[in-house]
Amino acid sequence: MSTAHTPPTPPDRSDGLPPTWAKTACILCECNCGLEVLVEGRTLTKIRGDKDAPNSRGYTCEKPLRLDKYQNGPHRITSPMRRREDGSFEEISWTTALDEIAQQLQQVVHVYGGESVFFYGGGGQGNHLGGAYGRALFHAVGAKYMSNALAQEKTGEGWVDQQMYGSHTAGDFENAEVSVFVGKNPWQSHGVQRARPVLKDIARDPNRSMIVIDPRISETAAIADFHLQVRPGTDAWCVAALAATLVQEDLVDHEWLRQHTVGSDTVLAELGAINVTDFADRCGVPEATLRGAARRLGAAESVATYEDLGIQQAPNSTLVSYLQKMLWILTGSFATPGGVHIHSWMFPIAGRWHAVPPERRPRFNGARRALGLALMPQTASLLGRTVIAARRHRRAGVLIEWASQQAMSMFFRSVGPPIGQRIADTLSNASDDPKQATPVTGSRILSGLTPCNVIADEILTDHPQRLRALWIDASNPAHSLADSGKFVRAMRATELSVVIDVAMTETAHAAHYVLPASSQFEKHEASLFTLHFPHNTFQIRRPLMSPLPGTKSEPEIYAEVIDRLHVVDPTLLRSLTDAADIGMATFALTLFSSLERDTSLSGLLPYLLYRSLGTALGPDDQALALIWGLAALAVIAQPDAVSRAGFAGTGLAQANALFEALRDRHEGVVFTEDRYADAWKYIQHDDRKLHIRIPELLIELQALTTLPSTYTSEEFPFILSAGERRSFTANVIIRNPEWRRRDKHGALRISPGDARTLHLADGDHVRIVTETGSATTPIEISDMMQNGHISLPNGFGVSYPDKDGDTSVGVALNTLTTTTRRDHFSGSPWHKTVPARIEKLA
């Protein structure tokens, strides 16, 4: 692979500013711990935890301390690039790139329809603002299909959540009497805020317990009270046996189930019929250990559970998601300290947006809503004209703002929920249709996302409805999705593929066009991982320095592409911009009424905000326009919880107060404050009950009795877990191998017993072979591993330009995996259960 791109000049100190400490956040995992960074020119010289950050309170792990390896280095790209026929790249100007891309997008849409353009990615662990703006392009071209990394891990769990209560949950591990981690190693992977002190507290406290289900003695399992060391891939039997023991030994909270759930009789009957002895045998956990753990659960005041990749990327994953939730449901651990809760959202990244009705609704709410919605279209036309005229008369502007304030206070809370619902559903690609499926393979679309494992199949076919163009932002699917080779072939088979990234990634190498993004420390960013309860937090990060010359931020890139598609009437943009100059109430009224007059504009909202309110906010703050929109949606969705977090007023006033706090408090903001019992209000079923009978999954539960529970063969006698989170892995956000202080080569872990059998010594190199490919790697003999189970870390095997050309350290895991081994329900890959063999190298 050759690239013509000239590496950027080494980090300069040209900004000329004195070194300053600034607040930002870690971008390496979903916890997004608050950071303080000493910025010298363009360099992040010192990094420490931010004690003021409301989510992490000063905590960090070891990973962000050398974040400069992300920010600076020869991996950064600084010019748009176009692929030549021979596969090499040439640098082109932004104007040429955007002109050609827009023109080719229009061409694809004209010939094959907007639904043939597929959007992938839109954010990593800390950058979701770009993807949010990208939704406007999705709608501008009339696209229908999209996906991201969630659709190779979390969509199965999301579907279960949706059936049972309609939203996402969080466990209160700081207070739980019993914490259960199912295929989750929070010591290394976090996911729980301040994971290590929280885990240590649990381990130290004789009155609290930890149950870990993991085939390895992970760092978390090592300090657990109960380690259920399953054979890889057999969690369905293990978790079913736990739930069955709760039922069969009558450790269930029957009264709670009667009051708060629907369908418990069937569930109890199914679990009652399970042969625990047989299931314990199938998963390899001693029956006494299983029963001991179940009794501990049954005796607890509170139970919180957390599932992750160990089961989400393994067989029967959707069923296991369902069963592990039974552990807190059967014990009645919901909406109570130490239990599991549905939380608020800034904007949902999984599941459907939902407005929680306020405790005190405005009087005549229904009538106001009807009247407001009826008046809106006329208001839009009227305001549009008046606002443009008022530009020349300041006094008229004051009057319009006053009138708009009256209208907003009269109608905002009544018309907000239906308008918010439409906007949110459009932006999150949510659909009421349970049968929503992809055009070629007919795969189930969950949470609006196409299963990652079928994307290539939706392209590599002569099906008339195949995907023709790929738009990829802030993701490296040619490295992170199963069977990388196949994904690259799929990219090459499209008529247009565009990649936006900070680096020349494996995916960028296969694209037609590559657009260089400003880094996450050179622009406004935010993470939408607002997954906390009872105090939910959100942080807007300000740029720490100017963009690297040659790069642009995603909001700007999307706006410039959409400009070229001419899908928005310029007079609308002008009236919105003028309205924003007059005042926030005038702007909000003009915006909402315009969206009500022409509902097809909903999907373009991020663009409309950027080009109107953003213009009024000025070039330094333009990207914050969408944050105002998010603040308004958050206030409509959970007004009381936002009030309790200290944002007074109602409606627009409250939204503005939240927006200003998000803009000004750089350490982040608690945007909702709930009481434990409030978790009930977030249930989306009208009866506010948990609907726990899921017929499709109960059939799968019955099938466990006969389903095979081994995945090895003579040819492939090992189970490889392809993607262990270790001390120095962070997906592939940091490409520079120098970042790692430990485990520099990403060794394959193997048990002492297996190493003996294969006559291997620590550090020996082996070839690992799977049905898809092979790779060589050093080994580490590790007591963590059980016989027959081997494990490779994620985040390795990416190219990095250095003085000797491109280097790559460690195994690119997805040269070893296949798209076909996947959950038949959610389509998530079995990365944790890859049959493999090991060949000793001479």
Q: Which residues bind ligand MGD (CB under 6 A)?
A: 29, 124, 127, 130, 149, 152-153, 182-185, 188-191, 213-216, 218, 230, 232-233, 235, 308-311, 314, 473-477, 480, 500-503, 505, 517, 519-520, 554, 721-725, 729-733, 794-795, 813-814, 817, 831-832
**Minimum distance of ligand MGD from residue 772's CB (angstroms):** 11
How far apart CA 198 and CA 196 sit, in angstroms, is 5
How far apart CA 355 and CA 642 sit, in angstroms, is 13
- Nearest one of 182, 176, 158 to 168, comparing CA atoms: 158
> Of the two residues 28 and 408, which places its CB atom closer to ligand SF4 in the complex?
28
> Of the two residues 131 and 298, which places its CB atom closer to ligand MGD in the complex?
131
The interface partner of residue 448, options being ligand SF4, ligand MGD, none and the CB cut-off 5 to 8 Å by kind, is none
> Of the two residues 369 and 509, which places its CB atom closer to ligand MGD in the complex?
509
**Minimum distance of ligand SF4 from residue 125's CB (angstroms):** 7
> Of the two residues 566 and 741, which places its CB atom closer to ligand SF4 in the complex?
741
The interface partner of residue 31, options being ligand SF4, ligand MGD, none and the CB cut-off 5 to 8 Å by kind, is ligand SF4
> Of the two residues 134 and 651, which places its CB atom closer to ligand MGD in the complex?
134
The interface partner of residue 127, options being ligand MGD, ligand SF4, none and the CB cut-off 5 to 8 Å by kind, is ligand MGD
* AA identity, residue 283: C
**Minimum distance of ligand SF4 from residue 62's CB (angstroms):** 7
The interface partner of residue 638, options being ligand SF4, ligand MGD, none and the CB cut-off 5 to 8 Å by kind, is none
**Minimum distance of ligand SF4 from residue 342's CB (angstroms):** 23
User: Residue 252 in contact with residue 268, Cβ under 8 Å?
Assistant: yes
**Minimum distance of ligand MGD from residue 782's CB (angstroms):** 11
**Minimum distance of ligand MGD from residue 138's CB (angstroms):** 15
In the chain, what is the straight-line distance between the N-terminal and C-terminal CA atoms, in Å? 30
Contact pattern from residue 186 through residue 215 relative to ligand SF4, giving x for each residue in contact according to CB under 6 A and a dash for the rest: ----x-------------------------
The interface partner of residue 32, options being ligand SF4, ligand MGD, none and the CB cut-off 5 to 8 Å by kind, is ligand SF4
Segment near ligand SF4 (CB under 6 A), from 57-65, 198-206, 224-232, 310-318? 57-65
User: Residue 168 in contact with residue 348, Cβ under 8 Å?
Assistant: yes
- Token digits of residue 73: 């280095």
State the burial class of residue 695 (Cβ atoms within 10 Å of its Cβ: 0-12, 13-18, 19+): exposed
The interface partner of residue 183, options being ligand MGD, ligand SF4, none and the CB cut-off 5 to 8 Å by kind, is ligand MGD
Q: Show Cβ contacts of residue 664 under 8 Å, excluding neighbours closer than 6 positions.
A: none
**Minimum distance of ligand MGD from residue 75's CB (angstroms):** 8
The interface partner of residue 349, options being ligand MGD, ligand SF4, none and the CB cut-off 5 to 8 Å by kind, is none
> Of the two residues 483 and 673, which places its CB atom closer to ligand MGD in the complex?
483
**Minimum distance of ligand SF4 from residue 302's CB (angstroms):** 24
**Minimum distance of ligand SF4 from residue 507's CB (angstroms):** 23
DSSP lists the bridge partners of residue 597 as none
Give the footprint of ligand SF4 on residues 19-48 (CB under 6 A): 26, 28-29, 31-33
**Minimum distance of ligand SF4 from residue 536's CB (angstroms):** 16
- Token digits of residue 240: 């079913």
How far apart CA 328 and CA 324 sit, in angstroms, is 8
The interface partner of residue 64, options being ligand MGD, ligand SF4, none and the CB cut-off 5 to 8 Å by kind, is ligand SF4
- Token digits of residue 314: 């393994």
State the burial class of residue 106 (Cβ atoms within 10 Å of its Cβ: 0-12, 13-18, 19+): middle
Residue nearest ligand MGD, CB atom distance: 723
The interface partner of residue 725, options being ligand MGD, ligand SF4, none and the CB cut-off 5 to 8 Å by kind, is ligand MGD
How far apart CA 336 and CA 347 sit, in angstroms, is 24
**Minimum distance of ligand MGD from residue 393's CB (angstroms):** 43
> Of the two residues 575 and 794, which places its CB atom closer to ligand MGD in the complex?
794
How far apart CA 764 and CA 780 sit, in angstroms, is 8
Residue 488: CB atoms within 10 Å: 18
The interface partner of residue 60, options being ligand SF4, ligand MGD, none and the CB cut-off 5 to 8 Å by kind, is ligand SF4
Task: Annotate 334-361 with DSSP letters as a single string.
Answer: BSSTTSEEE---SS-SSS---PPPPSSP
**Minimum distance of ligand SF4 from residue 49's CB (angstroms):** 8
Segment near ligand SF4 (CB under 6 A), from 60-68, 276-284, 572-580, 680-688? 60-68
The interface partner of residue 468, options being ligand MGD, ligand SF4, none and the CB cut-off 5 to 8 Å by kind, is none
How far apart CA 478 and CA 506 sit, in angstroms, is 6
How far apart CA 214 and CA 227 sit, in angstroms, is 7
**Minimum distance of ligand MGD from residue 128's CB (angstroms):** 10
The interface partner of residue 73, options being ligand MGD, ligand SF4, none and the CB cut-off 5 to 8 Å by kind, is none
> Of the two residues 309 and 653, which places its CB atom closer to ligand MGD in the complex?
309
How far apart CA 180 and CA 304 sit, in angstroms, is 6
> Of the two residues 320 and 601, which places its CB atom closer to ligand MGD in the complex?
320
Residue 783: CB atoms within 10 Å: 11
Backbone angle region of 429, left / alpha / beta, with phi > 0 → left and psi within -120 to 50 → alpha: left
Confirm or reject binding of residue 449 to ligand SF4 (CB under 6 A): no
How far apart CA 835 and CA 716 sit, in angstroms, is 5
Give the footprint of ligand SF4 on residues 77-96 (CB under 6 A): none
The interface partner of residue 458, options being ligand SF4, ligand MGD, none and the CB cut-off 5 to 8 Å by kind, is none
* AA identity, residue 568: V
**Minimum distance of ligand MGD from residue 253's CB (angstroms):** 25
Contact pattern from residue 144 through residue 183 relative to ligand SF4, giving x for each residue in contact according to CB under 6 A and a dash for the rest: ----------------------------------------
Residue corresponding to tokens 């499926």: 437
User: Residue 215 in contact with residue 789, Cβ under 8 Å?
Assistant: yes
User: Residue 536 in contact with residue 637, Cβ under 8 Å?
Assistant: no
Residue corresponding to tokens 């369902």: 322
User: Residue 715 in contact with residue 54, Cβ under 8 Å?
Assistant: no
The interface partner of residue 813, options being ligand MGD, ligand SF4, none and the CB cut-off 5 to 8 Å by kind, is ligand MGD
> Of the two residues 149 and 775, which places its CB atom closer to ligand MGD in the complex?
149
> Of the two residues 175 and 721, which places its CB atom closer to ligand MGD in the complex?
721
Backbone angles phi, psi at 383, to 5 degrees: -60, -40
- CA angle 62-67-70, nearest 5°? 135
User: Residue 615 in contact with residue 575, Cβ under 8 Å?
Assistant: no
Which of residues 39, 61, 508, 701 is near ligand SF4 by CB under 6 A?
A: 61
- Nearest one of 33, 38, 37, 39 to 58, comparing CA atoms: 33
Q: Show Cβ contacts of residue 70 under 8 Å, excluding neighbours closer than 6 positions.
A: 27, 519, 520, 733, 734, 736, 739
* Continuous H helices in 728-767: 752-757
Q: Show Cβ contacts of residue 772 under 8 Å, excluding neighbours closer than 6 positions.
A: 483, 815, 816, 817, 818
Q: How many residues bind ligand SF4 (CB under 6 A)?
A: 11
The interface partner of residue 33, options being ligand MGD, ligand SF4, none and the CB cut-off 5 to 8 Å by kind, is ligand SF4
Q: Show Cβ contacts of residue 411 under 8 Å, excluding neighbours closer than 6 positions.
A: 368, 369, 371, 372
Q: What DSSP character marks residue 538?
A: E
**Minimum distance of ligand MGD from residue 6's CB (angstroms):** 18
- CA angle 241-247-252, nearest 5°? 125
Site residues for ligand SF4 per CB under 6 A: 26, 28-29, 31-33, 60-61, 63-64, 190
